[in-house]
Structure 1
Amino acid sequence: MRPVIPYVTAAVLFGLGVYGVLRRRNAVLVLMAVELMLNAVNLILVTADTTVRAQLPHSGQVFALFVIVLAAAEIGVGLAIVLQLYRLRASVAVDEVPLTEPPAPVPATTTGGRLSTGPADADRPEGTK
């Protein structure tokens, strides 16, 4: 078998996965695109294993099994994150996810009619400024 066909197929699958990650707005579809890229890597690993079997026996198949386990763990964690995102935001659109938290407001306390800004005011006596 000529190894060019699986390599080209894997390149097309990986390209479709990259396109899906970059262009999709739905988090579930982004996870599916990542899975497509991992399957393309599996195809490359198995094809390389069959073409260079004399040097390293079955190493590509072992790496492919590790990638499958990694993909299963990624789907479990990814879907848990997506479900939590849907519970909080009622949407799974990736564009609507804030990447940083808004700054928390600093609580201001009043002491004797004036605004206290921190520990420096606590050291002064009550009648001085």
Structure 2
Amino acid sequence: MLTQQLLSIGVNHFLTISVILFGLGMFAVMTRKNAIVILMGVELILNAANINFLTFSKYNGGMEGVMFSLFVIVLAAAEAAIALAIVINIFKTFKTVDVSSVDTMKE
């Protein structure tokens, strides 16, 4: 009985992991200048949202969180594809992926 209480994972554990992922994602987005690292930060933020959706879905017994999570996964895949295409075009034009050095729309 005591081992089950020690090994049980509750809502607080999932929310703690989600907050850590969200914080790391925000740190990457706010402090980095590399476009690829910024995109990885955005993905961390979206994964933190997925963990929240799935946590509340599991503990409330509904399927809404699972549906929202699937929607966020599809949204993240589309965002990654479009953003990487933009980054490739920026690299072709400016020979860098540093977002602070890209200051014109067309050269």
TM-score range, shorter chain: 0.7 to 0.9
1:63 is matched with 68
Percent identity, aligned pairs only?
38
Match of 1:113 in 2: none
Q: Alpha carbon RMSD of aligned pairs, Å?
A: 1.5
Residue 64 to residue 80, structure 1, CA distance change in 2 (3 Å) = same
What residue ranges of structure 1 are gaps of 5+ in the alignment? Answer: 103-129
Larger Cα-atom Rg: 1
TM-score by length of 2: 0.88
**Structure 2 matches for 1:1-129, cutoff 5 A?**
1-53=9-61, 57-98=62-103
Q: Which has the higher strand share?
A: 1
Give aligned pairs, total.
99
Q: Which structure shows the bigger proportion of residues in helix conformation?
A: 2
Once superposed, which parts of structure 1, at least 4 consecutive aligned residues long, lie more than 2 Å away?
99-102
Gap regions ≥5 residues in structure 2: 1-8
TM-score (norm 1): 0.73
